Amino acid sequence: MKNIVITGVSTGIGYGAAKIFIQSGYRVFGSVRKQEDAERLKKEFGDNFMPLIFDITDHAAIANAANIVKEQIGDYGLSGLINNAGATEGAPLMHTSIENFRKNLEVLVVSQLVVIQEFLPLLGARKDCPYKPGRIINITSINGKIAAPFMGGYVASKHAFEGLSNTLRIELQMYGIDVIIVGPGVVKTAIWGKQTDDIAEKYRNTEYYLPCIAFNNFLKKSLPKTGLELDKFSERLLKIFEVKHPRTRYAIVRKKFMNWTLPRIIPARLADKFFAKLIGFKKG
């Protein structure tokens, strides 16, 4: 049986990935933060799912999880690692706390590397490895290439994670371990339901208050309607993982020309004006 580790499987993209990989015959070791999520998913997915309980910022717990996986798989090794876990909080960069900005980098970049380092030996990063090397898929975002307002910490982190992934791919050639970047656009998951009307409230006394509300409304109402169904995204992710000669980066985006190709080829100043009009920026 092929073994794979997927982080952040309690909901959303991670949940969809765990589901389709189990349906395709893999044993999935999936990370969750809560015991109740572990029990719920174990009941739903059955014997081919093993929960790993850790917060991605708890580096000692990640190391312990890697040891648990090592004990379970013995000499078979990991076929893959999918780095998906992470959370963020938006804010205009002028007013975001350095603590919040640093947290974005810790969760979405530093902790991702910790996970990779701990599981690399099980993926085949060792001399004279007796099994076929595994693959790493790093889930970034459309914002790993395209900036957006009020998401500076997230955008910076995803740009950094893409750079980290590209360097890692070069370095791991000596072990035969491939690193693939998957940058989703909007995927229809519960995250959109978590958007609240009071996100902008802390910026009420700044010039960003009304633009924050406008941008939040855009996220809540417009983007989910153009998002990709989770099942379709999960199917595509499985195909990418299993293809013999994968590309180094995949953009999984609905209405790809409008939402991916065009934003990257139009002049940056034009894109800036688009956002200014969208959220009502006015020069003082």
Mean pLDDT within 46-73: 96
In a domain, 178, yes or no: yes
Decide if pLDDT at 19 tops 70: yes
Give the list of residues 6+ apart from residue 232 with CB closer than 8 angstroms, or none.
Answer: none
In a domain, 130, yes or no: yes
Question: pLDDT tens, 97-128?
Answer: 999 999 999 999 999 999 999 999 999 999 88
Q: What is the pLDDT of residue 183?
A: 95
Cα 197 from Cα 275, distance rounded (Å)? 20
Decide if pLDDT at 196 tops 60: no
Q: What is the pLDDT of residue 191?
A: 62
Q: What percent of the chain has pLDDT over 70?
A: 95
Q: Which one from 26, 154, 203, 250 is the annotated catalytic residue?
A: 154
Between residues 166 and 86, the one the model is more confident about: 166
Structure token digits, residue 201: 């409230």
Q: Are 208 and 94 in contact (CB under 8 A)?
A: yes
In a domain, 218, yes or no: no
Q: What percent of the chain has pLDDT over 90?
A: 74
In a domain, 278, yes or no: no
Backbone phi and psi for residue 56, each to the nearest 5 degrees, phi listed first: -65, -15
In a domain, 92, yes or no: yes
Query: Is 15 a known active-site residue?
Result: no
Mean pLDDT within 67-71: 96
What predicted TM-score, i.e. pTM, was given to this entire model?
A: 0.94
Strand partners, 29: 5, 50
Q: What is the pLDDT of residue 88?
A: 81
Decide if pLDDT at 218 tops 90: no
We report the CATH number of the domain holding residue 96 as 3.40.50.720
Q: Which of 41-50, 81-90, 148-157 is modeled with the greatest confidence?
A: 41-50
Tell me how crowded residue 273 is: count the other CB atoms within 10 A of its CB: 12
In a domain, 122, yes or no: yes
Decide if pLDDT at 163 tops 90: yes
Tell me how crowded residue 148 is: count the other CB atoms within 10 A of its CB: 19
- Tally of domains in the chain: 1
The confidence band for 265, taking pLDDT boundaries of 50, 70 and 90, is very high
Mean pLDDT of the chain: 92
In a domain, 62, yes or no: yes
φ/ψ bin of 74: left (φ > 0), alpha (ψ from -120 to 50), beta (otherwise): left
Decide if pLDDT at 226 tops 90: no
Mean pLDDT within 76-83: 96
Q: How long is the chain?
A: 284
Between residues 186 and 179, the one the model is more confident about: 179
Q: What is the pLDDT of residue 99?
A: 94
Decide if pLDDT at 189 tops 90: no
Q: What is the pLDDT of residue 278?
A: 87
Domain that holds residue 37: 2-196+228-266
Reduce the DSSP state of residue 10 to 3 states and report it. Answer: coil
Q: What is the pLDDT of residue 192?
A: 57
Cα 122 from Cα 161, distance rounded (Å)? 22
The confidence band for 190, taking pLDDT boundaries of 50, 70 and 90, is low
Decide if pLDDT at 284 tops 60: no
